Amino acid sequence: MFSTKIKFSILTAAALAVIAPFNAAEATNGMNSAGYGMASKGMAGAGVAMSQDTLSGATNPAALVNVGDRTDIGVNFFNPNRSMQAQDATGAIPEGTYKSAEPWFIVPEFGINKMLDENSSIGVTLNANGGMNTEYGKNPFAGFSTAAESARTGVDMAQALLAVTYAKKYGEHSFGISPVLGFQYFSAYGLQDFAGNSTDPSSLTNRGYDYAAGYGMRLGYQGNITPNLSLGTSYQSRMYMQKFDKYKGLFAEGGDFDMAPIFNIGLAYKVPESPLTIAVDYQKIMYSEIDAISNSGNLLASCQASGSTGLGGTDGCGFGWDDQDVIKLGVNYDYNDKLSLRTGASWNSQVYENNETLFNILAPAVVRLHASVGATYDFKENQSLSFAYTRAFDDSITGVHASNGTQNIKHQMNQHEIGVGYTYTW
């Protein structure tokens, strides 16, 4: 009989086979996308209080009972331009600019919903996340040990979330619940210079891809406060994932890397006698609950291989990520009965402080301001095409790491994302 780990690995490989060819590294708010579905993406991720398409269920499962019988298929072309600079020669990193390769990724998404009766539905959504993806042509960490400089250094992570949603409507109020299966893969290479800081140097780097599966839950509510004002809120629990056994010498708690819980709340206002709807959302991503992400890597000297703070230890050093606050503002304008136009902007808090710049060379998640546009055109009675474009404006963070002398390390990133989608209703 197969062991539980092998069974989950087979399930994970099967699920990730859907997204693996596309290398799903989509990250705008830390490790999370700004939104799911072309309608939300065109509004910079806003819309937790709106029921726009089946992918709305990936944010708020209560939305699905309001979208009818339909399926949505989308693909996103994601371009994160990430780099780091060692701005002087006062530390271990050779002075210069290091640019990450692999500038384009393709990220699919899918949703289908079936009404069971006029007040209940069941649906399925598949969406992808990422965020820890870098590939440097030379090793910026080589100066931290006597090891030879590696030809390549970086990490690659992708996540897929598959949810089955039941939604029920009671008058002006709807509720949804989604058991969620999570799948993720990870690889790291070129980190051998930190072997002396690892509790298990043989499981630190250059182990190829490892796969993990797990589970969690989404809950959601939507309701009309007035005829023109709706409220939406949702919560995605922590996703309890299998450990990355191949990297138990890198991530805290022996390779544990769960997905952070997420809370959303928002309002949508339909302007009276107007085709205009305005949505405002607040999102909180609780990275602080995941030790591998939130434990500080500020003082590398304290990451002792023999103690619990060593890489991979029970209190092992990490990336020092904080909880992230996100504010989103979106507008939907129904130009006529066939064409809807959208725009939006969002702002998120900085996910890590400038004294955490060393390990975050691997994950320079510094963008904070996004702007989006989008549209949907109904080219047939039951079919439509949508698009969305998001620009994450150039941002940076510069800091001095306690284990790297007085050297300034600058992380910089900007992003483009273009999405297209097809909808069929029946």
Give the pLDDT confidence of 31-56 residue by residue, as tens digits. 899 899 999 999 999 999 999 999 99
Cβ burial, residue 342 (10 Å; 0-12/13-18/19+): buried
Q: Structure tokens of 62?
A: 């209560």
CB burial readout 391-421, b (16+ within 10 A) else e:
bbeebbbebbbbbbeebbbbbbbbbebebeb
Judged by average pLDDT, the poorest of 160-174, 335-349, 376-390, 399-413 is 399-413
Judged by average pLDDT, the poorest of 61-75, 88-102, 221-235, 278-292 is 88-102
Considering only CA atoms, which of 81, 83, 84 is closest in space to residue 103?
Answer: 81
Q: How far is CA 96 from CA 42, 83, 87, 191, in A?
A: 37, 11, 6, 19
The single-letter code of the amino acid at 170 is Y
Give the pLDDT confidence of 375-422 residue by residue, as tens digits. 999 999 999 999 999 999 999 999 998 878 889 999 999 999 999 999
- The CA distance from 62 to 83, in Å, is 39
Q: How confident is the model at residue 306 (pLDDT cuts 50, 70, 90)?
A: low
Considering only CA atoms, which of 66, 42, 41 is closest in space to residue 54?
Answer: 66
In whole angstroms, what separates CA 76 from the centre of its chain? 14
- The answer to whether residue 82 scores a pLDDT higher than 70 is yes
Stretch 272-279: mean pLDDT, rounded?
Answer: 97
User: Which pLDDT score is estimated for 2?
Assistant: 40
- Output the domain CATH number for residue 341: 2.40.160.60
- The answer to whether residue 25 scores a pLDDT higher than 60 is no
User: Which pLDDT score is estimated for 9?
Assistant: 47
User: Which pLDDT score is estimated for 12?
Assistant: 47
User: Which pLDDT score is estimated for 230?
Assistant: 98
User: Which pLDDT score is estimated for 69?
Assistant: 98
Range of the domain at 170: 4-425
User: Which pLDDT score is estimated for 397?
Assistant: 95
User: Which pLDDT score is estimated for 147?
Assistant: 56
- The answer to whether residue 299 scores a pLDDT higher than 60 is yes
Judged by average pLDDT, the poorest of 10-14, 216-220, 238-242, 247-251 is 10-14
- What is the dihedral sign for C-alpha 16, 21, 22, 23? positive
Query: What three-state secondary structure class fits 4?
Result: helix
Residue 348 · residue 29 · CB < 8 Å: yes
DSSP 150: P
Q: How confident is the model at residue 7 (pLDDT cuts 50, 70, 90)?
A: very low
- The answer to whether residue 206 scores a pLDDT higher than 90 is yes
Q: How confident is the model at residue 347 (pLDDT cuts 50, 70, 90)?
A: very high
Stretch 261-284: mean pLDDT, rounded?
Answer: 98
- The answer to whether residue 356 scores a pLDDT higher than 70 is yes
- The CA distance from 163 to 313, in Å, is 32
Give the pLDDT confidence of 103-127 residue by residue, as tens digits. 788 889 999 999 999 999 999 999 9
User: Which pLDDT score is estimated for 262?
Assistant: 98
- The answer to whether residue 146 scores a pLDDT higher than 70 is no
Contacts of residue 4, Cβ cutoff 8 Å, sequence gap at least 6: none
- The answer to whether residue 4 scores a pLDDT higher than 90 is no
Cβ burial, residue 284 (10 Å; 0-12/13-18/19+): middle
| Domains held by the chain: number | 1
